[in-house]
Structure formats: structure tokens, C-alpha cells
Amino acid sequence: MAEPVITKPGSANKSNWSVLLGAAFIMATSAIGPGFLTQTTVFTAKFGADFAFAILASIIIDIGAQMNVWRVITMSRMRGQDVANKVFPGLGHFVALLIVMGGLAFNIGNIAGSGMALNVLFGMTEQTGAIISCFIALAIFASKEAGIAMDMVAKALGGLMILLTTYVMFASNPPVAAAAVKSVFPADYGVLMLPMITLVGGTVGGYITFAGGHRLLDAGIVGRENLKEVNKSAVTGILVTGVMRVILFLAVLGVVATGAELAKNNPPASVFRIAAGEMGYKFFGIVLWAAAITSVVGAAYTSVSFLRSTFKAVDKYNSYFIMLFIVISTIVFVLVGRPVTILVIVGSLNGLILPITLGVMLLAARNKKIVGDYEHPTWLMVFGILAVIVSAYAGAMSLQGIAGLWK
């Protein structure tokens, strides 16, 4: 069984605040990737204002999942798979398998998104764009300063995406009042199960749940003395993701409410073009590509990190395995194609993983051999249990919907 990660507890200074903010934006921009844009656009076009309910429900589940996971990881000073092995010997290996499989599926969507972005910018095929993006991602990761660069890019692009989408939202003049009502009283709760679990999968499912917590762990921001800082980082990431989701939903809703027809091969790009013209269309391509590249590197890095405790070769040759992960993702996409369908489905697959991984973290939260003298709040435990139940039910209900997307 793997031993806990040895870290030196940090203190709340300016340097650590940069790490805290970086961890929040790495989690947020990993979620706000090509899949995030495509999922929100596709489901808003299909369900209209009713989709507001799925967004609100997913944000609530996000809070329950992220706060629990970040706390357990930083208080235990162990990575997710090692925590799971402490809960039940061997369970961590199973969790690692789920995370890696989900991460691979998610990364196929990220690569697909990069291909879509280069199609917007230069008119090349999505497959060719994906191959070019793969080589660029490999070059980025090969840099020794990749971690610092990712922090800066995540913050800059996160703010840029919010600003641009806010402009599109105002330009599209969405029916805000109708969306507010439907966020609580949709016409049919049942049909919103698939979109809800897809949103959850895209924002906290699979590797994304652990991306921020693992980053803080590696930086040494752990232990009860840093609990306040951990909470700030987690909440910041959730808020950034939630705000972007709402703004994008309203922007798309305003466009589709006019009866405009979205392009089937790249629906989010057509929203930006309709609302902001050709310049908005090209600018969207730049932001999408940058977000996709960040997500490709982040997904590969975090997913492979779940194998380091089990396989010495992965730990020794970590960089090579991460690059291999990226290459495999690209090959699968080039052979399968259908980027929009992939982006929607991988979110659902990641959402199906959430009940298991979050359930493990909740069991660990009250285990003194794992978290020591840390006292996990009852309200947060209840919140987490609710998130597990809802996501498990929604995940089961979404299975038929996932199969239907391939038809």
C-alpha cells in the first residue's frame, strides 16, 4: 500500500495565495473546456429555459463534492487513490482505474475540442487540428516550467472566457426572468437527468474533482492550519465554474430564443458568431483552443498521477507516460471522429464515476487513521451524501440517454 505524500505545511502568504488561486483556476478551467462549452450549448438548444434547473442542481452537487474532496485530501495529506486504499485495501487501485478510464475519455473530448478550434480559426479538418494540437501539448508539457505556465494561462484564459461570454450574453438579450422561474419549476424534471449528470461529470467528475486538491497537496498547503485557505481555493473554483456556466447558458438561450439555427458540427462557435459577428467567431476559436490545450495537459497529468503509487515505472518515467496518454487520446479521436457527440458523452461517463469516488472520500472523512484529529463538519457530510445519492440516481437514469446520443 502506498504511503502518504510527504509535504511541508505551507502558510497563508502571498506565494501560497498564488498557488491557491492557481489550484482554483486549474480546476475551473479544466471544467470550462471544450466539453463545457459544447454540453451547455447542445442542452440549452434542446431544453431551452428548462435547462436552468439542471444548471442549478449541478452547482449544488458541485459544492458538496468539491468541498468534501479537497478537505479530505489536504487534511489526510494523501492523494485520492492512497486515501481509498486506506479506507479499504485495494479500493484505491479500482478508483485509479475508474479515474484513468474517465480521464482518457475526457481527454479525447479535449483533443476533439482543440481540433474544432483550429477548424474555426483556419478551416482545417478537425482531425488535422487535433494532431497539430497534440504535438503542441507535448511540447508544452516537456517544458520544466509547465506548471507555472499552466497557472498563468488558466487565470488569464479563465477571465478572458468570462468577459467574452458576458459580452455575448448581453448581445443576445436572453429571457432572464423565464430562466429564473424554470431553474426551480421546469416543465419536466425527469428529462433533465441526463443534462444534469453531464454537467456534474464535466465539472467535478473523474479527475477534475481531484485536480485542485492534488495541486495543493503537492504545494504543501495541508493540515488544519491551512483549512481556511483550502476552503477559499475550493469555493473560488466552484464560483468561477458556476458563473461561467450561467453566463454561457444565458448567452445561448438568447440566441436560440430568436429561432436561430446552430451549426451541428460546432454549435458553441455558431452562437458566438451569431451574437458577435465574425470577430467573435474567430476570438471564440482562440479561447477554445487555449482552453482545450490546458485541459489536455491537466487531464493527462492528473489521470496519470493516479497510477504513480501503484506502478514504479509510471512514477519513474512520469513525463513519458503523460505524453503517451496524450498521444493515445489523439489517436482514438482521429479514428472515431464525431467531436460534438464525444464531448457530451464523456461528461456523462465522468459523472458516473462521481458517486464512487465521492463516497470513498466521505468514508475517509470520519476515519481518524486517515484525517487525524480533523473534525469533518456534519453539514458537509450530509451535503456530500446527498450529492452521492443524487449523482448515483441521475447517473443510472442517464444510461439510456447516453446510448441514444449515438443514434
Provide the 8-state DSSP code for 399.
H
Give residue 140's pLDDT.
Answer: 74
Residues 6+ apart with CB under 8 A from 107: 295, 296, 299, 300, 303, 325, 326, 329
- Specify the residue for cell string 482518457: 104
Which cell numbers hold the place of 264? 451541428
Q: Give the model confidence (pLDDT) of 237-294 as tens digits.
A: 888 888 888 998 999 999 988 888 888 877 888 888 888 888 888 878 887 887 788 7
How far is Cα 372 from Cα 396, in angstroms, rounded to an integer?
Answer: 35
Return the exposure string of 91-109: e unless at least 16 CB atoms fall within 10 Å of the residue's CB, then b: bbbebbebbbebbbbbbbb
Q: Give the model confidence (pLDDT) of 62-71 as tens digits.
A: 887 888 999 9
Q: Give the model confidence (pLDDT) of 71-107 as tens digits.
A: 999 999 998 899 999 998 988 888 888 788 878 888 8
Confidence band for 299, pLDDT divided at 50, 70 and 90:
confident
Mean pLDDT of the chain: 82
pTM of the model: 0.81
Which cell numbers hold the place of 16? 501560497
| Cα–Cα–Cα angle for 51, 56, 61, rounded to 5 degrees | 125
Q: Is 18-405 in CATH node 1.20.1740.10? A: yes
- Percent of the chain with pLDDT strictly greater than 90: 19
Return the SS3 of 7: coil
In the predicted structure, residue 14 carries a pLDDT above the cut 60: no
How far is Cα 155 from Cα 174, in angstroms, rounded to an integer?
Answer: 27
Mean pLDDT of 398-403: 60
Give residue 4's pLDDT.
Answer: 43
Q: Which amino acid is at 290?
A: A
Q: Which is higher by pLDDT, 130 or 349?
A: 130
Which cell numbers hold the place of 397? 437514469
Give residue 302's pLDDT.
Answer: 84
For the chain, the residue count is 407
